[in-house]
A and B are shown apart, each in its own frame.
Chain A
Amino acid sequence: MNPMEPNLTNTSSNEDDLELARRVLANETKAVESFVMRMRCVGSILRIRNARFGRPLDRAALGDLVQDTLIVIWRRLSSYEGRGPLEAWAYRIASYELLSALRASRRRPVTSSEFDQVYAIAAPAPEPTPDSNSSGNRLMRHLRGREAQIVRLKHFEDLSFEEIAKLLEVAPSTAKTHYYRAVEKLRTILAPLAGEVGT
């Protein structure tokens, strides 16, 4: 990693961020100011992700979503455990809120193909992104439909099976069944891919 780049996925220790969260919860003015500055990325994250999805949410809806996400972040701050930087923690929350908003905007069950369309699973991204050729993304190309959705929601959005089930309006056991099948499918094709993904 370039030493100048922020380590956004540091999973070792984020004591400073954890301390910041504690001070924010204690309502220390300076800490709140710092936290507000750090969370400015939330609006941008949601805008970027919405753009990558083909802008399914209009500006007003996106504005509402930013506010709703910030409220969730604020309410959940006490559950932040410092397992990653605050921005990464906020990213996960923002992702879930975005997906929930996409579902809510439909006001009816979303079919697999519709969700694929929104979620850019079935079709390749219109513009290549730096992450699009990762081994994980290459594995994903072998999956389709519900299995692809669930694997992606599990590993790319870091959602629990309960959250995935709620989002897709299926039983948690159904989500687990699809996931297990998908991983088993990937396992059977992993050997021929071993040389490719190992590089």
Chain B
Amino acid sequence: MNEHQEIEGLANSAEHEELVRRVLLEEVPQADERVHRLVAGCPRCSTQLKEHAQISAMLNEGGDLEMQSILREALEMDQFPGDEQVDRVLSSLAAGEPVGTLGGGRWRFRSVAMLAAAAALILAVVLTGGFGEEEPTPERATHLGPTQEAGEGTTSGAQFGPQGHDADFSRVYWELEIPDGGFYEVRVYDNTAGSRGELLITAEELEDPEWRPKKMEREKLTEAVLFEVVCFDAAGQRLEQRLSWPAWSVSE
């Protein structure tokens, strides 16, 4: 028995049902003239459309409640795990810096500063013959030594180290100003080809702009590393200034 009413332009029940289906699947908007005629002219289809809308509303409510529940939980957290990561990613994106490929959620950025520093480092190597024409393909992890002064156009005109061909690597230093009571943190990441940027060392709460690694720490260094210096104020809030640069060892 055909329970559908005849409507101009919608000759049979199959057309009614197809239109109802397309409305549910959002292929035809509710505001479509044919839908108005269907609602006005066919009680069965009108009821079906209302029930679909009711079901959608209930399901949407379920989704909204779930979202609210999770968002509240997220917003009420006293400490947001990974805040630094969020800050770093978005700040870099806002600054138009490219996103790199180091993975693992630990260090995935090659900032402009870092690239500039890398370029300066390579230039210095070429000029001083420190590495000669040798590729940085370390056979032994003898880690670096003399300091390097960044050339014009690199990060903040900062000096940083170490760089070079020296087994007596014992000091990393930088020039970044911080407020009284502030402190630095040095992080060293694995930067060898194919690595995921694993954090190797963290040296925390350094009052002076230098880090003197202990023997045990030096032994943790891989052939190629990425140094990062992060600054904090006296209250422990991370500051905008940061510096990062790659370094690598060479075989002797």
Q: Is A190 an interface residue (CB 8 A)?
A: yes
User: Are A139 and B90 also in contact (CB < 8 A) when A6-B75, A180-B25 are?
Assistant: no
A42 & B86 in contact (Cβ 8 Å cutoff): yes
A131 & B72 in contact (Cβ 8 Å cutoff): no
**A135 to B63 alpha-carbon distance, docked (Å):** 10
Q: Is B234 an interface residue (CB 8 A)?
A: no
Q: Is A99 an interface residue (CB 8 A)?
A: no
Interface-facing stretch out of B30-38, B52-60, B132-140, B174-182: B52-60
A60 & B105 in contact (Cβ 8 Å cutoff): yes
**Of residues 28 to 86 in A, which have CB atoms within 8 Å of B's CB atoms?**
32, 35-36, 39-45, 47-49, 52, 59-67, 70-71, 74
**A66 interface neighbour in B59, B64, B105, Cβ under 8 Å:** B105
Interchain Cβ contacts under 8 Å between A and B, 5 examples? A5-B72, A27-B94, A74-B93, A135-B61, A135-B62
* A45 cross-chain contacts in B, Cβ below 8 A: 70-71, 74
Q: Is A163 an interface residue (CB 8 A)?
A: no
**B70 interface neighbour in A48, A151, A186, Cβ under 8 Å:** A48
B86 & A176 in contact (Cβ 8 Å cutoff): no
A8 & B67 in contact (Cβ 8 Å cutoff): yes
- CB within 8 Å of A: which residues of B? 21, 24-26, 48, 51-52, 54-56, 58-75, 77, 80-83, 85-87, 89-91, 93-94, 99, 103-106, 108, 196
Q: Is the interface of A mostly helix, strand, loop or mixed?
A: helix
Q: Is the interface of B mostly helix, strand, loop or mixed?
A: helix
B89 & A71 in contact (Cβ 8 Å cutoff): yes
Q: Is A91 an interface residue (CB 8 A)?
A: yes
Quick one: CB contact mask for A143-160 with B, threshold 8 Å, 1 for yes?
A: 000000001001111100
B54 & A190 in contact (Cβ 8 Å cutoff): yes
A47 & B91 in contact (Cβ 8 Å cutoff): no
* B70 cross-chain contacts in A, Cβ below 8 A: 45, 48-49, 52, 91
B86 & A70 in contact (Cβ 8 Å cutoff): yes
* A74 cross-chain contacts in B, Cβ below 8 A: 90, 93-94
**A176 to B26 alpha-carbon distance, docked (Å):** 10
User: Are A187 and B51 also in contact (CB < 8 A) when A161-B25, A176-B25 are?
Assistant: yes
B60 & A155 in contact (Cβ 8 Å cutoff): yes
User: Are A43 and B83 also in contact (CB < 8 A) when A71-B93, A190-B55 are?
Assistant: yes
**A65 to B89 alpha-carbon distance, docked (Å):** 12
CB distance from B209 to the nearest CB of A (A): 25
Q: Is A119 an interface residue (CB 8 A)?
A: no
Q: Is A134 an interface residue (CB 8 A)?
A: yes
A155 & B63 in contact (Cβ 8 Å cutoff): yes
**A60 interface neighbour in B60, B93, B196, Cβ under 8 Å:** B196
Extra pairs beyond A63-B85, A190-B55 (6, CB < 8 Å) = A36-B86, A43-B82, A44-B77, A135-B58, A136-B58, A161-B26
**A8 interface neighbour in B61, B68, B86, B108, Cβ under 8 Å:** B68
Query: Which residue of chain B lies nearest to A25 when distances are taken between CB atoms in the complex?
Result: B94
Query: Which residue of chain A lies nearest to B89 when distances are taken between CB atoms in the complex?
Result: A70
CB distance from A54 to the nearest CB of B (A): 15
CB distance from B202 to the nearest CB of A (A): 16
**B86 interface neighbour in A43, A65, A87, Cβ under 8 Å:** A43
